[in-house]
A and B are shown apart, each in its own frame.
Chain A
Amino acid sequence: MPGTPTAKKSRHIESSGQLCIYCGACVGVCPLNCIYLDETRITFDEKICTRCEICVKACPVGAIEIG
């Protein structure tokens, strides 16, 4: 529902397994500490994430998308 006030919060954040190199750059830069790296799996705590997109910029290979 783009354009509605709740649209921002409802946006989904994910890391593409095809691009991700599990380097942890996103984990280190997240100001709210809501990204978890477990070997070859990255997860985002969507309840805490404010979609500030710093991790999107930090990712050297462009694997993180907020849809």
Chain B
Amino acid sequence: MVKELATDVLVVGAGPAGSMTAKWAAKNGARVLMIEKRQEIGSPVRCGEGMSKDWLKEVGITPGRWINVEVEGARIFSPSEKILEINEKSAGNEVGYVVERDGFDKALAIDAANAGAEVLLKTAATQVLKEGGRIVGVRAKQFGEPFEIRAAVTIGADGFESQVGRWAGLPTNLALRDMDSCLQYRMTNVDCDVRYCDFYLGKVAPGGYVWVFPKEKGLANVGIGVQLSKIQGMAEARKYLDDWIAKHPAYAKGRTIDVVGGGVSISKPVTQAAADGIMLVGDAARMIDPLTGGGIANGCIAGKICGEVAAEAVHLRTPTKEFFQKYEKGWRARLEEKLYRNWLAKEKLCSLSDETFDKIVDALQGVHLEKLTVHNILKAVHAKYPDVTREFEEFL
């Protein structure tokens, strides 16, 4: 006889989106079980560790010891390395923290547990349980021992390599152009500026960018994302990153103390994130911002909505696709327009030549913009290079 557990809400994956969902489902009165395949929440880290901060209050996260530095702004480096600075005043929310991601994930899991959620580590889902087309839990393994977990609502919060959504038949497959391959070194003995998160665009990283996120003076995450449709051979992410570092003495003198890799989706929002008995949240639902590659904020924002809807479905005994439209409407109202807009902007940026990119950033040198909007940027560019703005008519 196979061991069997039962719960109201089962959350697969204890990343930020999973913990947020677990916390808000538990806070709203549901019995919650969150399972995590790793032995330690948050580790190993697969993240650049930069995040905005204006959304934290909305989802009930209090800044804690997981903050490494609070940056003043972001700097965008054009291919010839002219700089466009984006600060709090000009962009409102584009700046934030560089964080200790494993500490952040642990803090959120602690919040979820304190709200009443059970947590099982070393527990991997191996298949979903289906009954009459509805998902009713998962088959799982803890320390290699198989068992079943039955749940009224199953949440797939299992990240970029999500299995749960695929097993359930939800459309989360990615095309080559919808994904960046990423690699990052944590480097010490580098000359990073702790006031800024830096982004290098253009041919240095086809379809992506090189980032330098400062952890403290002399220590930074130096990473790259490259779009799969724009690369040819093997290990291109590593080649591009190593090339970039070799050409930048401030970093070439550094020593790597950690290597992090991973995939990031840069797709349009998915058409469906819920079905009978199941909802997907976070990277598993392709909620990553396709322009920045950031997934934490969106995962947490959607997680809160997902947890609330899951608890309500348990109370009303309505864990159906129809009822979960409440979740679909909720997360889409909050995130979908920006996801789509940023996907369009990303597509445009990826199509620019290095020359055009340089012209745009050059046109903005010394120009004071009250607010850094696409419209204001294009107006400034138009004044100096009217030929360039012709490419952007759809944005005006």
Task: Evaluate whether A24 and B228 lie within 8 angstroms (CB atoms) in the complex, with A56-B234, A57-B234, A60-B235 already known.
Answer: no
Instruction: Answer whether residue B269 sits at the interface, using C-beta atoms and an 8 A cutoff.
Output: no
Instruction: Answer whether residue B364 sits at the interface, using C-beta atoms and an 8 A cutoff.
Output: no
Q: Which stretch, A2-10, A29-37, A43-51, touches the partner chain B?
A: A29-37
Query: Contacts A21-B259, A57-B233 given; 7 further ones with Cβ under 8 A?
Result: A33-B163, A33-B166, A54-B228, A57-B176, A57-B228, A60-B182, A65-B234
Q: Does A25 lie within 8 Å of B176, measured CB to CB?
A: no
Task: Evaluate whether A60 and B238 lie within 8 angstroms (CB atoms) in the complex, with A21-B261, A23-B260, A25-B262 already known.
Answer: yes
Task: Evaluate whether A25 and B238 lie within 8 angstroms (CB atoms) in the complex, with A31-B173, A57-B228, A59-B181 already known.
Answer: no
Q: Does A60 lie within 8 Å of B161, measured CB to CB?
A: no
Instruction: Answer whether residue B162 sits at the interface, using C-beta atoms and an 8 A cutoff.
Output: yes
Among B161, B166, B232, B237, point to the contact of A24 (Cβ < 8 A): B161
CA distance A31 to B228 in the complex (A): 14
Task: Evaluate whether A23 and B234 lie within 8 angstroms (CB atoms) in the complex, with A54-B228, A58-B179 already known.
Answer: no
Instruction: Answer whether residue A17 sits at the interface, using C-beta atoms and an 8 A cutoff.
Output: no
Q: Does B162 lie within 8 Å of A28, measured CB to CB?
A: yes
Q: Does B262 lie within 8 Å of A59, measured CB to CB?
A: no
CA distance A66 to B236 in the complex (A): 17
Residues of A within 8 A of B166 (CB): 33
CA distance A60 to B265 in the complex (A): 14
Residues of B within 8 A of A27 (CB): 161
Interface residues of A (CB under 8 A from B): 21-29, 31, 33, 37-39, 54, 56-62, 64-65
Instruction: Answer whether residue B26 sits at the interface, using C-beta atoms and an 8 A cutoff.
Output: no
Residues of B within 8 A of A33 (CB): 163, 166
Smallest Cβ-Cβ distance to A35: which chain B residue:
B161
Among A37, A39, A58, A65, point to the contact of B181 (Cβ < 8 A): A58
CA distance A31 to B174 in the complex (A): 7
CA distance A10 to B163 in the complex (A): 26
Among A23, A29, A31, A56, point to the contact of B261 (Cβ < 8 A): A23
Task: Evaluate whether A25 and B263 lie within 8 angstroms (CB atoms) in the complex, with A59-B181, A60-B183, A60-B237 already known.
Answer: yes
Instruction: Answer whether residue B170 sits at the interface, using C-beta atoms and an 8 A cutoff.
Output: no
Residues of B within 8 A of A60 (CB): 181-183, 235, 237-238, 261-262
Q: Does A62 lie within 8 Å of B234, measured CB to CB?
A: yes
Among A22, A23, A39, point to the contact of B263 (Cβ < 8 A): A23
Task: Evaluate whether A29 and B235 lie within 8 angstroms (CB atoms) in the complex, with A57-B176, A58-B263 already known.
Answer: no
CA distance A65 to B137 in the complex (A): 36
Q: How large is the interface on B (under 10, 10 to 19, 20 to 34, 35 or more residues)?
A: 20 to 34
CA distance A27 to B283 in the complex (A): 13
Q: Does B235 lie within 8 Å of A23, measured CB to CB?
A: no
CA distance A27 to B234 in the complex (A): 16
Among B161, B183, B233, point to the contact of A28 (Cβ < 8 A): B161
CA distance A38 to B174 in the complex (A): 22
Smallest Cβ-Cβ distance to A37: which chain B residue:
B161
Among A22, A24, A28, point to the contact of B174 (Cβ < 8 A): A28
Residues of A within 8 A of B161 (CB): 24-25, 27-28, 37
CA distance A28 to B38 in the complex (A): 17
Q: What would be 26 A-B contacts, judged by CB atoms less than 8 Å apart?
A: A23-B46, A23-B260, A23-B263, A24-B159, A24-B263, A25-B181, A25-B182, A25-B261, A28-B160, A28-B174, A28-B179, A33-B163, A37-B161, A38-B124, A54-B228, A56-B234, A57-B181, A57-B228, A57-B231, A57-B233, A57-B236, A60-B182, A60-B235, A62-B238, A64-B234, A65-B234
Q: Which of B209-244 contact A (CB under 8 A)?
A: 228, 231-238
Residues of B within 8 A of A26 (CB): 263
Min Cβ gap B42→A in Å is 15
CA distance A64 to B162 in the complex (A): 20
Q: Does A29 lie within 8 Å of B163, measured CB to CB?
A: no
CA distance A29 to B263 in the complex (A): 8
Smallest Cβ-Cβ distance to B179: which chain A residue:
A29
CA distance A21 to B228 in the complex (A): 18
Which interface residue of B181, B182, B236 has the most chain A CB atoms within 10 A?
Answer: B181
Q: Does B238 lie within 8 Å of A61, measured CB to CB?
A: yes
Residues of B within 8 A of A28 (CB): 159-162, 174, 179, 263, 265
Which interface residue of A24, A25, A61 has the most chain B CB atoms within 10 A?
Answer: A25
